[in-house]
Amino acid sequence: MAAGLILMALGAAAGPGPGAGPGQAAPWDFGPGGMMGFGAVNIGSGPDPGSPGFVAGTASAPRVVRIVASDALRFFPDVVTVRQGETITFEVTTMGMSSHEFMVGPAADVAADTAGTPEVADVAMVQTKSLTYTFSGPGPFAFACHAPGHYEAGMKGTIVVVA
Ligand SMILES: [Cu+2]
């Protein structure tokens, strides 16, 4: 049943964008592990701010948001909504052959690849790395991959901050 729900979620979420085709193994399907809460193996990452069941992430209990990095040089999702002040743990999984980076922080620093901006690097095929970040202030915040050529190809995402 859980697997069916996951497949439905994937089908609804993946849409026509870059991602796994039908029948393709999904790297975030880690098998019969978690079904609820932080152990959930669905890309939907749980309710967004404003949705029923939303629970804001805190420093001691960050909200987990799953991100897939693809060979199409895109992140999925490429828009993440957070509540101002929330602490998020991004679980970044590479789906495809190329390795990616995931940088998150103030949009200007992310765009400029400023040294010291939080990031994880060398996320290789079917590997997952996590990065926890607290969205203090109204932003703007963003995320990006600065592997050579990737950002220029459009491998970036937007953080929407809600009050
Ligand atoms: Cu990349």
pLDDT, position 37: 36
pLDDT, position 145: 98
Read off the pLDDT of each residue in 19-27 and give the average, rounded to a whole number: 43
Q: How far is the CA of 24 from the centre of ligand 1 (A)?
A: 21
Q: How far is the CA of 30 from the centre of ligand 1 (A)?
A: 22
State the total domains in the chain: 1
Kindly report the CATH number assigned to the domain that includes residue 138.
Answer: 2.60.40.420
Q: How far is the CA of 118 from the centre of ligand 1 (A)?
A: 15
Asked whether residue 16 is assigned to any structural domain, the reply reads no
Decide which of 26 and 86 is more confident: 86
Q: How far is the CA of 138 from the centre of ligand 1 (A)?
A: 26
Asked whether residue 38 is assigned to any structural domain, the reply reads no
Write down the pTM of the prediction: 0.74
pLDDT digits (tens, 9 = 90+) for 97-147: 999 999 999 999 999 999 999 999 999 999 999 999 999 998 999 999 999
Are the beta carbons of 128 and 89 closer than 8 angstroms? no
Domain around 154: 43-162
pLDDT, position 41: 41
Asked whether residue 117 is assigned to any structural domain, the reply reads yes
Q: How far is the CA of 11 from the centre of ligand 1 (A)?
A: 24
Asked whether residue 31 is assigned to any structural domain, the reply reads no
pLDDT, position 28: 46
Residue 142 CA: distances (Å) to CA of 34, 44, 108, 113, 125: 29, 19, 8, 11, 23
Asked whether residue 54 is assigned to any structural domain, the reply reads yes
Q: Where are the beta strands (DSSP E) in the chain?
A: 63-70, 75-76, 79-83, 87-95, 100-106, 119-123, 128-134, 141-144, 156-162
